Amino acid sequence: MTSVAATTVPPPAPPVAVGDRLRLWWNSLSRPAHWAFAVPFIAFLAILPLWRPAFINTTAIDFGVVMAQFGMYALLAIGLNVVVGQAGLLDLGYVGFYAIGAYTVALATSPTSPWNITGDDGWLSRQWAWLALLPLAAAITAISGLLLGSPTLRLRGDYLAIVTLGFGEIVRLLAENLRDLTNGGAGLPRIAYPVIGESATNRGGIFSAGNAVAQPWMPNAGTWWFWVCLFLIIVVLLVVGNLERSRVGRAWVSIREDEDAAEIMGVPTFKFKLWAFVIGASIGGMSGALYAGQVQFVTPTNFNIINSVLFLCAVVLGGQGNKLGVILGAFIIVYLPYRLQSVEIGDESLGDYKYLFFGLALMVLMIFRPQGLLPVRQKLLTYGRELYVAARRRSRASDSEAAK
């Protein structure tokens, strides 16, 4: 009977897919090597709206504007990913935070709003008002996240989804009904944006909606906004990435996997759920402020509940919990409908069917690949990567020994 230990067969190695091999390779790289790949890729993304290759360019709406919108959706997806992907809280009212961010900037800078603080006798100059209000918008949405989260996060998952759905709808209805404040359905026009680089051709500066040249290698307003988005995305990714690898991130994952077990193991679940909610909200608010600045006009219809579902679609499609995956998801959600707008079958533009396709994609994905296109593999340890590399080195060494 002593031979049992010696004869036990090691468990068969799981099959290695192409994606796994790629991931192994990527994980075995050092951090500077990651950056060496990331920087050229970011640079490539940044010049994409200047380059406008024909097979990528969109015709119905300017490509720069599409990329700016992609940037905002990417921010939203990263924020929603913290809530849904990391902490596992299904938030169907995320558009509410987007709206609060946008309306913060709009209410403070639109001449139509009674709370306008820009202009000759205001506190802020119109030139820099937007920039000053960006952190304020993030802060106010964070507070709104706190206000919504503190009573509702004690609820179970399904209930939370519906309550947040109600919240999103309430925000929109408030924007619609508080007519004296938000101008109702007519919306708030002439929202401030950074006025930089005015010239004879660009009266309002490079960020003005009037700057709409559509030639290659000429940055228009959309492109400039995309660059602002890109900068913010990188900053937010760094912050969120560090959170993910910290005690906070580990708490989120434990809550997502099993809330009761996490609570018993001493994770203050409510506190960390609230943190996830607040951080997610403030990122959404930032995206809303970007939107208000770029479009320079907000109406309640921009914040319909269906947008919430679209954001969720981006997160689920890209891969819940994977912050790079959700950016891919956001790209698919924003870019494909615009690209397909110019593709026609019969006399129908394919772009009109976007909700049909996204709905189908959600259903099919949930059956066959619920983890999304780029699934996440959780690293629960701060030095998980180093440990992983060391473990792999050892196993490889033992493999080669066994081969002898």
Residues that bind other proteins (CB under 8 A): 88, 90, 92, 114-117, 119, 121-122, 151-152, 154-159, 161-163, 165-167, 169-170, 173-174, 176-181, 305, 309, 312, 316, 352-353, 355-356, 358-363, 366-367, 370
Nearer to other proteins, 1 or 367 (CB): 367
At residue 224's C-alpha, the angle toward residues 218 and 229, to 5°, is 145
Residue 282: which residues within 8 A CB-CB, separation 6 or more? 79, 97, 138, 139, 141, 142, 145
Residue 171 exposed, middle or buried by CB count within 10 Å (0-12, 13-18, 19+): buried
What is the bridge-based pairing of β-strands 188-189 and 297-298? Answer: antiparallel
> Which one, 198 or 348, has the nearer CB to other proteins?
348
**Which conformational region is residue 375 in: left (phi greater than 0), alpha (psi within -120 to 50 degrees), or beta?**
beta
Select 111 or 197, whichever has its Cβ closest to other proteins: 111
CB closer to other proteins out of 54 and 367? 367
For residue 76, give both structure tokens: 């939203």
* In the complex, least distance from residue 97 CB atom to other proteins, rounded to whole angstroms: 16
Q: What is the DSSP letter of 344?
A: E
Structure tokens at 172: 């929109």
Pairwise CA distance, residues 367 & 350, whole Å: 25
> Quick check: 273 and 153 in contact, CB under 8 A?
yes
> Rounded to the nearest whole angstrom, what is the least distance from the CB of residue 35 to other proteins in the complex?
34
Q: CB 338 → other proteins: shortest distance, Å?
A: 18
In the complex, minimum distance from the CB of residue 217 to other proteins, in angstroms, rounded to a whole number:
38
54 or 306: whose CB is closer to other proteins?
Answer: 306
Instruction: Output 196 or 365, the one with its CB closest to other proteins.
Output: 365
Q: What is each CA distance from 126 to 110, 122, 294, in whole angstroms?
A: 10, 9, 15
Shortest CB 348 distance to other proteins, Å: 8
Q: Which is nearer to other proteins, 18 or 356 (CB)?
A: 356
If you search the block for the tokens 């990435």, which residue do you land on?
A: 241
- For 213, how many CA atoms within 13 A lie in the half-sphere containing its CB? 13
| Nearest distance in Å: CB 40, other proteins | 35
- Pinpoint the alpha helices (H) of 204-318: 221-244, 247-257, 259-264, 269-295, 305-318
Q: How far is the CB of 107 from other proteins (least distance, A)?
A: 10
Residues 6+ apart with CB under 8 A from 234: 42
Q: How far is the CB of 218 from other proteins (least distance, A)?
A: 37
For 156, 166, 273, 316, the CA distances from 258, given in Å and listed in that order, are: 12, 26, 13, 20
270 burial (CB, 10 Å; 0-12 / 13-18 / 19+) is middle
| Residue 81 or 223 having the CB closest to other proteins | 81
Q: Which is nearer to other proteins, 352 or 386 (CB)?
A: 352
Work out how close the CB of 154 gets to other proteins at its nearest, in angstroms, rounded to a whole number: 8
